[in-house]
Amino acid sequence: MMKLQRKNPLFILLAIFLLIIILHWIGALQPVERFIFKSIRPLSNDLYLWGTSISASYDERTQKEELLEKIESLETQLKDLAIDKALYQEVLSENEKLRKHLNFVDNNNFTTVLAHVIAQEGLFTTAERRDLVIDKGRQAGLSEGLAVISDGGIVIGKIIAVEEESARVCLTTTPGCQLAVSLQNETQTQGLSDGRLGLTIAMDFIPQLEKIAISDVVVTSGLSSEIPRGLVLGKVTEVKSESNEVWQSATIEPLLNFNNLTIVSVVLP
Amino acid sequence: MFKALTQFLLFSLVSILLAVFQFSFISALPAWGQNLYPGVIVIVFIIFFIDLLPALYFILAFGFFLDILSFQFFGVYTLTLTAAALVVYFILKNFLTNRSLYSFLAVMFIFIFIYNFLLAIISFIFLSGSFILGDISFWSSLGWQFFWGGLSAIIFFSPLIFWFKKFKPFFLEKKRLV
């Protein structure tokens, strides 16, 4: 045995590597993996917070000029919103009366699980392919397909993979991260949202007859069994509609910056 | 025996700390910082200044912890790091025999390129990923990795030369014609 070690250490290492792979796939390494993950979770959380604070201070310096422009535009919007608020109050009052009459159940009390973001994950460091890793998993009752929201109740993505003590979340701006959504317009247009380049969200294959306006709010449609209805994704910022095309598409801007998320909630069905 | 055990424990501790640091801290940095791979840099240093076998031990530990933490195909990091290490060691032993800063930089760049190339191929063939080799962001990311790897090589080469006292020339030696 010692001779073999002296002569063929590479084969020994290869054998160890293959053994680890086999043990992982048959599940024999799970207790070890869970113990390791639980042990490093506090350190992982602190390191991620440290990294995001560096990232946030770097972003602040570069975004100052953009912020000044945005302030001017927001002041204009504020005036328009005052009128909208008055109309909203009327609609809300009517809605409450109707609910009492029809005895609807209030669907806004969701059951959530709080989780910390401990890493951004991806084989390559390209902006459009960064998923988040959170420190809750199957043990906390999570499963694939559940919606993940920010502290303001805005949908940031959904769970795409679950381990015992962790889960992977795709952001709504990631290509391939699709959600069943609907627009808050006259016809409650329904469709599928998908990420674009890690920056925005797109809603394609909308029939030409549907009327979509800039600033229409996009929410989850509830057609997916795991994700409840009414969770806000973002607002429409651009509509691409050609008269000779069958479909039109909308670009949706998320309502918050995903770069500095540290605490999220998972909505349980 | 005690010394070997202490070295083994220290080795494992450094591996797991580096894996957690790579997984959590580096991933949270702005885009230019996310391409810093301390694990890759350490592996290249070990191959160049010590030998292949300690580097493979390190890869086994570092890759194992990285595979546990990540949601990628289990073993993908260990496999690609090992393959890159073997190729780089072969090149070092057969072609870059003059152990200067230039050969060290060449080893660093070759390792980084092979590691990323293998990940791209594995992602495309086995993980239903897109063909990222045609993506400008892949090459941009590679450029940043070369930058960090090269910077680390230049900064740490001299102190390590002094410490190991194995490699005399800093730059390539010039042969006197007279």
> Which residues of chain A make contact with B136, given a CB cutoff of 8 A?
none
Among A110-124, A154-168, B142-156, the range of highest mean pLDDT: A154-168
The answer to whether residue A17 neighbours chain B at the CB level (below 8 Å) is yes
Of chain A residues 24-53, which have a CB less than 8 A from chain B? 24-25, 33, 36-37, 40, 43-45, 47-52
**Structure-token pair, residue B133:** 């080799």
CA-based nearest residue to A142, from A113, A120, A109, A170: A113
The pLDDT of A113-141, averaged and rounded, is 85
Confidence category of residue A4, pLDDT binned at 50, 70, 90: very low
The answer to whether residue B24 neighbours chain A at the CB level (below 8 Å) is yes
Chains A, B: CB contacts under 8 A, how many? 118
Beta strands in chain A (DSSP E): 111-121, 131-134, 147-149, 155-162, 167-171, 179-183, 190-196, 200-207, 217-220, 232-240, 247-254, 263-268
Residue A101: is its pLDDT beyond 50? no
Lowest mean pLDDT among A3-17, A167-181, A236-250: A3-17
Q: Quick check: B64 and B40 in contact, CB under 8 A? A: no
Residue of A14, A39, A123, A128 to mutate, testing the B interface (most B Cβ within 10 Å of its Cβ) = A123
How many angstroms separate the CA atoms of B151 and A5, rounded? 37
- Close Cβ partners of A196 (under 8 Å, ≥ 6 residues apart): A128, A173, A175, A202, A251
What mean pLDDT value characterizes chain A? 83
**Structure-token pair, residue B56:** 């493979």
Q: Quick check: B62 and B38 in contact, CB under 8 A? A: no
The answer to whether residue A126 neighbours chain B at the CB level (below 8 Å) is yes
Q: Quick check: A105 and A122 in contact, CB under 8 A? A: no
CA distance, residue A46 to nearest chain B CA (Å): 8
What percent of chain A stands above pLDDT 90? Answer: 29
- Option in B34, B53, B60 nearest A16 (CB): B60
How many angstroms separate the CA atoms of A122 and A209, rounded? 39
Q: Report how far Cα B77 is from the mean position of its chain's Cα atoms.
A: 12
Q: What is the pLDDT of residues A241-266, one digit of tens each?
A: 887 888 889 999 998 888 778 889 99
CA-based nearest residue to B25, from B143, B33, B75: B33
- Rg over CA atoms, chain A: 23
Confidence category of residue A143, pLDDT binned at 50, 70, 90: very high
Give the per-residue pLDDT at B176: 42
- Note whether A54 contacts B69, CB cutoff 8 Å: no
Q: What is the pLDDT of residues B78-97, one digit of tens each?
A: 999 999 999 999 998 888 87
Q: What is the pLDDT of residues A194-224, one digit of tens each?
A: 998 888 999 988 888 888 889 899 999 988 8
- Option in A40, A55, A166 nearest B28 (CB): A55
DSSP string, A190-240: EEEEEEETTTEEEEEEEETTS---TT-EEEE-S-SSSS-TT-EEEEEEEEE
More confident residue, A229 or A60: A229
Written as tens digits, the pLDDT of chain B (178 aa) is: 777 788 778 888 889 899 999 999 999 888 788 888 999 999 999 999 888 988 998 999 999 999 999 888 889 999 999 999 999 999 988 888 777 888 889 999 999 999 999 988 888 887 766 667 777 888 888 898 999 999 998 888 888 777 766 554 444 444 443 3
Q: Quick check: A135 and A165 in contact, CB under 8 A? A: yes
The full set of domains in chain A, from first to last, is 31-106 (no CATH), 110-269 (2.40.10.350)
Of chain B residues 28-57, which have a CB less than 8 A from chain A? 28-31, 33-35, 53, 56-57
Residue of B27, B47, B130 to mutate, testing the A interface (most A Cβ within 10 Å of its Cβ) = B27
The answer to ipTM > 0.85 is no
